[in-house]
Amino acid sequence: MPEDELEDLPGVGPATADKLVDNGFESYQSIAVASPGEMSNTADIGESSAADIINAARDAADVGGFETGATVLERREEIGKLSWQIDEVDDLLGGGIETQSITEVYGEFGSGKSQVTHQMAVNVQLEPENGGLDGGCIFVDSEDTFRPERIDDMVRGLDDEILADEMERREIEGTPSDKEAMEELVEAFLDQIHVAKAFNSNHQILLAEKAKELAGEHEETEWPIRIVCVDSLTAHFRAEYVGRGELADRQQKLNKHLHDLMRIGDLFNTAILVTNQVASNPDSYFGDPTQAIGGNILGHASTFRMYLRKSKGDKRIVRLVDAPNLADGEAVMRVQNEGLKPE
Protein backbone atom coordinates (compact mmCIF):
# COMPACT_ATOMS: atom_id res chain seq x y z
CA MET A 1 0.00 0.00 0.00
CA PRO A 2 1.49 3.41 -0.96
CA GLU A 3 2.38 5.77 1.86
CA ASP A 4 -0.11 8.47 0.79
CA GLU A 5 -3.02 6.07 1.38
CA LEU A 6 -1.94 5.60 5.00
CA GLU A 7 -2.41 9.33 5.42
CA ASP A 8 -6.14 8.78 4.91
CA LEU A 9 -6.22 7.30 8.42
CA PRO A 10 -7.09 9.77 11.21
CA GLY A 11 -3.99 11.06 12.97
CA VAL A 12 -1.58 9.88 10.26
CA GLY A 13 0.38 12.67 8.59
CA PRO A 14 3.37 12.37 6.23
CA ALA A 15 5.89 11.95 9.07
CA THR A 16 3.81 9.29 10.84
CA ALA A 17 3.21 7.48 7.54
CA ASP A 18 6.97 7.37 6.96
CA LYS A 19 7.51 5.92 10.46
CA LEU A 20 4.84 3.27 9.90
CA VAL A 21 6.21 2.19 6.52
CA ASP A 22 9.83 2.16 7.76
CA ASN A 23 8.78 -0.24 10.55
CA GLY A 24 6.83 -2.65 8.35
CA PHE A 25 3.30 -1.24 8.77
CA GLU A 26 2.71 -0.77 5.06
CA SER A 27 -0.97 -1.69 4.71
CA TYR A 28 -4.25 -1.24 6.54
CA GLN A 29 -4.23 -4.98 7.28
CA SER A 30 -0.76 -4.99 8.86
CA ILE A 31 -1.77 -2.03 11.04
CA ALA A 32 -5.13 -3.57 11.93
CA VAL A 33 -3.59 -6.74 13.37
CA ALA A 34 -0.96 -4.88 15.44
CA SER A 35 -1.30 -4.03 19.13
CA PRO A 36 -0.99 -0.43 20.40
CA GLY A 37 2.00 -1.40 22.55
CA GLU A 38 3.80 -3.02 19.63
CA MET A 39 3.22 -0.05 17.32
CA SER A 40 4.23 2.39 20.03
CA ASN A 41 7.51 0.57 20.68
CA THR A 42 8.51 -0.10 17.07
CA ALA A 43 7.27 3.03 15.30
CA ASP A 44 7.82 5.56 18.13
CA ILE A 45 4.15 6.62 18.22
CA GLY A 46 2.26 7.39 21.41
CA GLU A 47 0.20 4.43 22.61
CA SER A 48 -3.12 6.30 22.58
CA SER A 49 -2.42 7.58 19.06
CA ALA A 50 -1.44 4.06 18.00
CA ALA A 51 -4.75 2.72 19.35
CA ASP A 52 -6.70 5.30 17.33
CA ILE A 53 -4.76 4.49 14.16
CA ILE A 54 -5.28 0.74 14.65
CA ASN A 55 -9.02 1.13 15.22
CA ALA A 56 -9.34 3.26 12.07
CA ALA A 57 -7.35 0.69 10.07
CA ARG A 58 -9.61 -2.10 11.35
CA ASP A 59 -12.66 -0.23 10.14
CA ALA A 60 -11.06 0.52 6.77
CA ALA A 61 -9.78 -3.03 6.27
CA ASP A 62 -12.93 -4.63 7.70
CA VAL A 63 -10.86 -6.67 10.15
CA GLY A 64 -11.97 -7.95 13.51
CA GLY A 65 -15.68 -8.58 13.00
CA PHE A 66 -17.65 -11.82 13.03
CA GLU A 67 -18.32 -13.81 9.89
CA THR A 68 -20.25 -16.93 9.00
CA GLY A 69 -18.78 -20.40 8.83
CA ALA A 70 -19.50 -20.39 5.09
CA THR A 71 -17.31 -17.30 4.69
CA VAL A 72 -14.52 -18.96 6.67
CA LEU A 73 -14.80 -22.05 4.44
CA GLU A 74 -14.59 -19.88 1.34
CA ARG A 75 -11.48 -18.13 2.65
CA ARG A 76 -9.87 -21.46 3.55
CA GLU A 77 -10.05 -22.40 -0.12
CA GLU A 78 -7.18 -19.93 -0.62
CA ILE A 79 -4.95 -22.04 1.65
CA GLY A 80 -2.23 -23.90 -0.21
CA LYS A 81 -0.92 -27.40 0.48
CA LEU A 82 2.78 -28.07 0.07
CA SER A 83 3.51 -31.67 -0.84
CA TRP A 84 6.29 -33.71 0.73
CA GLN A 85 6.37 -35.69 -2.56
CA ILE A 86 5.64 -38.72 -0.36
CA ASP A 87 2.04 -39.90 -0.72
CA GLU A 88 1.89 -41.57 2.68
CA VAL A 89 3.00 -38.40 4.51
CA ASP A 90 0.79 -36.15 2.39
CA ASP A 91 -2.21 -38.33 3.22
CA LEU A 92 -1.34 -38.06 6.91
CA LEU A 93 -1.39 -34.25 6.60
CA GLY A 94 -4.51 -34.03 4.49
CA GLY A 95 -2.55 -33.05 1.38
CA GLY A 96 0.64 -31.50 2.74
CA ILE A 97 1.91 -28.57 4.80
CA GLU A 98 -0.72 -25.83 5.01
CA THR A 99 -0.15 -22.15 4.42
CA GLN A 100 -1.40 -19.77 7.13
CA SER A 101 -0.41 -22.35 9.75
CA ILE A 102 2.59 -23.27 11.89
CA THR A 103 3.84 -26.81 11.34
CA GLU A 104 6.25 -28.02 14.01
CA VAL A 105 8.59 -30.93 13.36
CA TYR A 106 10.44 -32.28 16.41
CA GLY A 107 12.70 -35.24 17.10
CA GLU A 108 16.09 -36.22 18.45
CA PHE A 109 19.33 -35.39 16.62
CA GLY A 110 19.72 -37.23 13.34
CA SER A 111 16.00 -37.87 12.95
CA GLY A 112 15.77 -35.78 9.77
CA LYS A 113 14.35 -32.42 10.92
CA SER A 114 16.80 -30.32 8.89
CA GLN A 115 16.29 -32.63 5.92
CA VAL A 116 12.59 -31.74 5.99
CA THR A 117 13.29 -27.99 5.95
CA HIS A 118 15.72 -28.34 3.04
CA GLN A 119 13.28 -30.50 1.09
CA MET A 120 10.43 -28.04 1.59
CA ALA A 121 12.68 -25.17 0.46
CA VAL A 122 12.93 -27.07 -2.84
CA ASN A 123 9.37 -28.38 -3.08
CA VAL A 124 7.76 -24.98 -2.45
CA GLN A 125 9.21 -23.71 -5.74
CA LEU A 126 7.46 -26.35 -7.84
CA GLU A 127 4.25 -25.67 -9.73
CA PRO A 128 0.99 -26.53 -7.91
CA GLU A 129 0.41 -29.33 -10.43
CA ASN A 130 3.62 -30.92 -9.10
CA GLY A 131 2.79 -30.37 -5.42
CA GLY A 132 4.50 -27.00 -4.93
CA LEU A 133 3.27 -23.48 -4.21
CA ASP A 134 5.07 -21.63 -7.01
CA GLY A 135 6.97 -19.48 -4.50
CA GLY A 136 10.20 -18.77 -2.68
CA CYS A 137 11.52 -19.65 0.77
CA ILE A 138 12.90 -17.76 3.76
CA PHE A 139 15.26 -19.92 5.83
CA VAL A 140 16.20 -18.75 9.36
CA ASP A 141 19.18 -20.85 10.40
CA SER A 142 19.93 -20.90 14.14
CA GLU A 143 22.07 -24.06 14.27
CA ASP A 144 24.27 -23.59 11.19
CA THR A 145 22.38 -26.37 9.41
CA PHE A 146 21.66 -24.84 6.00
CA ARG A 147 23.75 -26.43 3.27
CA PRO A 148 23.38 -25.33 -0.38
CA GLU A 149 25.02 -28.63 -1.35
CA ARG A 150 22.02 -30.42 0.14
CA ILE A 151 19.67 -28.30 -1.96
CA ASP A 152 21.75 -29.36 -4.98
CA ASP A 153 21.26 -33.03 -4.08
CA MET A 154 17.53 -32.62 -3.59
CA VAL A 155 16.93 -30.71 -6.82
CA ARG A 156 18.78 -33.41 -8.76
CA GLY A 157 16.73 -36.01 -6.86
CA LEU A 158 13.41 -34.74 -8.25
CA ASP A 159 11.58 -36.82 -10.85
CA ASP A 160 12.76 -36.21 -14.43
CA GLU A 161 9.29 -35.02 -15.48
CA ILE A 162 9.28 -32.39 -12.72
CA LEU A 163 12.83 -31.34 -13.65
CA ALA A 164 11.80 -30.96 -17.29
CA ASP A 165 8.80 -28.84 -16.27
CA GLU A 166 11.01 -26.61 -14.13
CA MET A 167 13.57 -26.14 -16.91
CA GLU A 168 10.83 -25.14 -19.33
CA ARG A 169 9.22 -22.75 -16.84
CA ARG A 170 12.54 -21.10 -15.95
CA GLU A 171 13.55 -20.95 -19.62
CA ILE A 172 16.60 -23.16 -19.21
CA GLU A 173 17.67 -24.88 -22.40
CA GLY A 174 18.53 -28.54 -22.06
CA THR A 175 17.32 -31.72 -20.40
CA PRO A 176 17.78 -33.28 -16.94
CA SER A 177 20.64 -35.34 -18.37
CA ASP A 178 22.45 -32.17 -19.50
CA LYS A 179 25.10 -31.30 -16.87
CA GLU A 180 25.22 -27.56 -17.60
CA ALA A 181 21.43 -27.25 -17.69
CA MET A 182 21.16 -29.00 -14.33
CA GLU A 183 23.76 -26.70 -12.78
CA GLU A 184 21.78 -23.71 -14.04
CA LEU A 185 18.57 -25.17 -12.61
CA VAL A 186 20.15 -25.79 -9.20
CA GLU A 187 21.37 -22.19 -9.13
CA ALA A 188 17.86 -21.00 -10.03
CA PHE A 189 16.43 -22.93 -7.07
CA LEU A 190 19.09 -21.53 -4.72
CA ASP A 191 18.29 -17.98 -5.90
CA GLN A 192 14.77 -18.31 -4.46
CA ILE A 193 15.94 -19.38 -0.98
CA HIS A 194 16.69 -16.40 1.27
CA VAL A 195 18.92 -17.53 4.16
CA ALA A 196 19.84 -15.68 7.35
CA LYS A 197 21.84 -17.06 10.25
CA ALA A 198 20.49 -16.21 13.71
CA PHE A 199 23.28 -15.58 16.23
CA ASN A 200 21.11 -15.43 19.35
CA SER A 201 17.45 -15.37 20.37
CA ASN A 202 17.11 -11.59 20.04
CA HIS A 203 18.61 -11.71 16.58
CA GLN A 204 16.25 -14.55 15.68
CA ILE A 205 13.25 -12.44 16.77
CA LEU A 206 14.58 -9.55 14.66
CA LEU A 207 14.94 -11.86 11.65
CA ALA A 208 11.26 -12.77 11.91
CA GLU A 209 10.44 -9.07 11.59
CA LYS A 210 12.82 -8.79 8.63
CA ALA A 211 11.19 -11.86 7.09
CA LYS A 212 7.86 -10.05 7.20
CA GLU A 213 9.39 -7.12 5.30
CA LEU A 214 10.96 -9.46 2.74
CA ALA A 215 7.66 -11.30 2.23
CA GLY A 216 5.96 -7.94 1.66
CA GLU A 217 8.57 -6.94 -0.93
CA HIS A 218 8.06 -10.19 -2.85
CA GLU A 219 4.27 -10.34 -2.56
CA GLU A 220 3.57 -9.03 -6.06
CA THR A 221 6.58 -10.60 -7.77
CA GLU A 222 6.87 -13.78 -9.82
CA TRP A 223 8.22 -15.59 -6.74
CA PRO A 224 6.19 -14.62 -3.64
CA ILE A 225 7.40 -16.07 -0.35
CA ARG A 226 5.34 -19.20 0.32
CA ILE A 227 7.26 -20.82 3.19
CA VAL A 228 9.32 -19.63 6.15
CA CYS A 229 11.56 -22.32 7.67
CA VAL A 230 13.12 -21.85 11.12
CA ASP A 231 15.71 -24.50 11.99
CA SER A 232 15.61 -24.66 14.88
CA LEU A 233 13.05 -22.53 16.66
CA THR A 234 14.17 -23.27 20.21
CA ALA A 235 17.96 -23.79 20.16
CA HIS A 236 18.96 -20.25 21.18
CA PHE A 237 16.12 -19.86 23.69
CA ARG A 238 17.11 -23.14 25.31
CA ALA A 239 20.78 -22.16 25.54
CA GLU A 240 20.29 -18.60 26.80
CA TYR A 241 17.47 -19.05 29.32
CA VAL A 242 18.67 -21.71 31.75
CA GLY A 243 16.89 -22.78 34.93
CA ARG A 244 13.41 -22.25 36.32
CA GLY A 245 14.12 -18.63 37.18
CA GLU A 246 14.53 -17.83 33.47
CA LEU A 247 11.56 -19.90 32.30
CA ALA A 248 8.95 -17.12 32.34
CA ASP A 249 11.15 -14.73 30.34
CA ARG A 250 11.99 -17.47 27.84
CA GLN A 251 8.37 -18.43 27.26
CA GLN A 252 7.29 -14.81 26.91
CA LYS A 253 9.91 -14.15 24.23
CA LEU A 254 9.15 -17.43 22.48
CA ASN A 255 5.46 -16.55 22.47
CA LYS A 256 6.14 -13.18 20.80
CA HIS A 257 8.41 -14.85 18.25
CA LEU A 258 5.72 -17.38 17.33
CA HIS A 259 3.12 -14.65 16.92
CA ASP A 260 5.48 -12.70 14.65
CA LEU A 261 5.90 -15.81 12.48
CA MET A 262 2.16 -16.49 12.45
CA ARG A 263 1.50 -12.95 11.29
CA ILE A 264 3.67 -13.58 8.22
CA GLY A 265 1.58 -16.66 7.47
CA ASP A 266 -1.70 -14.79 7.82
CA LEU A 267 -0.69 -11.69 5.86
CA PHE A 268 1.05 -13.37 2.95
CA ASN A 269 -0.58 -16.83 2.76
CA THR A 270 2.72 -18.42 3.77
CA ALA A 271 3.46 -21.78 5.38
CA ILE A 272 5.50 -21.60 8.60
CA LEU A 273 7.69 -24.67 9.20
CA VAL A 274 9.69 -24.82 12.45
CA THR A 275 11.89 -27.55 13.86
CA ASN A 276 12.11 -28.15 17.58
CA GLN A 277 14.57 -29.85 19.88
CA VAL A 278 13.57 -32.52 22.38
CA ALA A 279 14.35 -33.61 25.92
CA SER A 280 14.09 -36.98 27.59
CA ASN A 281 11.49 -37.23 30.34
CA PRO A 282 13.15 -39.03 33.29
CA ASP A 283 9.75 -39.81 34.85
CA SER A 284 8.69 -41.91 31.87
CA TYR A 285 8.95 -45.63 32.66
CA PHE A 286 6.92 -46.88 29.70
CA GLY A 287 6.84 -45.85 26.07
CA ASP A 288 8.96 -43.20 24.36
CA PRO A 289 10.45 -40.71 26.88
CA THR A 290 11.16 -38.14 24.15
CA GLN A 291 9.19 -34.92 24.49
CA ALA A 292 9.31 -31.61 22.62
CA ILE A 293 10.61 -28.59 24.47
CA GLY A 294 8.91 -25.19 24.43
CA GLY A 295 6.09 -26.17 26.76
CA ASN A 296 2.45 -25.24 26.31
CA ILE A 297 3.31 -21.97 24.54
CA LEU A 298 4.67 -23.86 21.54
CA GLY A 299 2.13 -26.66 21.83
CA HIS A 300 -0.77 -24.22 21.55
CA ALA A 301 0.83 -22.09 18.82
CA SER A 302 1.62 -25.01 16.50
CA THR A 303 -1.28 -25.92 14.24
CA PHE A 304 0.32 -29.23 13.27
CA ARG A 305 2.85 -31.11 15.43
CA MET A 306 4.92 -33.87 13.85
CA TYR A 307 7.34 -36.21 15.59
CA LEU A 308 10.21 -37.77 13.65
CA ARG A 309 12.01 -40.79 15.02
CA LYS A 310 14.72 -43.02 13.67
CA SER A 311 14.07 -46.50 12.39
CA LYS A 312 16.26 -49.06 10.61
CA GLY A 313 18.84 -47.64 8.23
CA ASP A 314 17.57 -44.57 6.38
CA LYS A 315 13.96 -45.10 7.44
CA ARG A 316 12.19 -42.47 9.55
CA ILE A 317 8.80 -42.73 11.23
CA VAL A 318 6.69 -39.60 10.76
CA ARG A 319 3.99 -39.32 13.41
CA LEU A 320 1.24 -36.70 13.39
CA VAL A 321 0.86 -35.83 17.07
CA ASP A 322 -1.64 -32.99 16.91
CA ALA A 323 -3.82 -31.34 14.26
CA PRO A 324 -7.14 -29.49 14.51
CA ASN A 325 -8.94 -31.50 11.85
CA LEU A 326 -6.92 -34.68 11.29
CA ALA A 327 -6.60 -37.97 13.12
CA ASP A 328 -3.28 -38.96 14.67
CA GLY A 329 -1.32 -41.43 12.59
CA GLU A 330 2.06 -42.54 11.33
CA ALA A 331 3.84 -42.80 7.99
CA VAL A 332 7.26 -44.03 6.88
CA MET A 333 9.77 -42.21 4.70
CA ARG A 334 13.43 -42.57 3.78
CA VAL A 335 16.17 -39.93 4.08
CA GLN A 336 18.47 -40.54 1.13
CA ASN A 337 21.14 -38.63 -0.78
CA GLU A 338 18.47 -37.55 -3.26
CA GLY A 339 16.23 -36.19 -0.49
CA LEU A 340 13.12 -37.44 1.27
CA LYS A 341 11.69 -40.47 -0.53
CA PRO A 342 8.83 -42.94 -0.04
CA GLU A 343 9.47 -46.23 1.71
Which amino acid makes up residue 78? E
Task: Report the sign of the C-alpha dihedral through residues 151, 140, 259, 109, in that order.
Answer: positive
Which amino acid makes up residue 86? I
Q: For 5, what's the count of Cα atoms within 13 Å in the CB-facing half-sphere?
A: 11
Q: How far apart are CA 127 and CA 35, in angstroms?
A: 36
Q: How far apart are CA 177 and CA 163, in angstroms?
A: 10
CB 97 within 8 A of CB 271: yes
Q: Is the bond preceding residue 232 a cis peptide, omega within 30 degrees?
A: yes
Residue 42, CA distances (Å) to 38, 280, 297 in order:
6, 39, 24
Q: How far apart are CA 20 and CA 26, in angstroms?
A: 7
110 is in an annotated binding site: yes
Q: Angle CA(225)–CA(231)–CA(212) in degrees, nearest 5?
A: 35
112 is in an annotated binding site: yes
113 is in an annotated binding site: yes
109 is in an annotated binding site: yes
Q: CB neighbours of 190 closer than 8 A, spacing ≥ 6?
A: 148, 151, 152
CB 217 within 8 A of CB 224: no
131 is in an annotated binding site: no
Residue 62, CA distances (Å) to 29, 66, 74, 330 in order:
9, 10, 17, 41
253 is in an annotated binding site: no
Q: CB neighbours of 50 closer than 8 A, spacing ≥ 6?
A: 34, 36, 37, 39, 40, 43
Residue 27, CA distances (Å) to 4, 101, 224 in order:
11, 21, 17
Q: Residues comprising the binding site for ATP?
A: 107-114
Known binding residues are 107-114
